Amino acid sequence: MLTGVRPDGLLGFERRNNRIATLDGGAAIPDFGYSVADRTFDIRWRASDKRIIETIRRLAKTYSRLIVSTEEGCFMGAPGPFSYSNGEAQIQILIEKRLDQ
């Protein structure tokens, strides 16, 4: 269990839309809504306990999906890049689905 995780990397999201320039100088913006599967959690924490760092690394190497629980809810996602530098650890989780709804 990680404590002291910075919340700013957990709240972001995007809608499924894009902007396309039109010949008349305007723009068309098709909007296909929102899906939790478009989210990426960027989890960062002050890593002072080497056992926790090694546990997170092992989990990310061993399992193709991890369950992440936040104040917002419970999610399943694929582990992305992991890094550790200057006492701060970071892992990205590519969210696949929300488990508590």
Express each pLDDT in 40-81 by its tens digit.
Answer: 999 999 888 899 999 999 999 999 999 999 988 999 999 999
Band the pLDDT of 14: cuts 50, 70, 90: confident
- Are 39 and 12 spatial neighbours (Cβ–Cβ below 8 Å)? yes
Q: Where are the domains of the chain?
A: 7-98
Type of residue at 1: M
Residue 60 or 4, more confident: 60
> How many DSSP H helices and E strands does the chain contain?
1, 8
Could you write out the DSSP letters of every residue in 13-26? --EEE--EE-TTS-
Judge whether residue 101 has pLDDT over 90.
Answer: no
pTM for this prediction: 0.80
Secondary structure of residue 65 in the 3-state scheme = coil
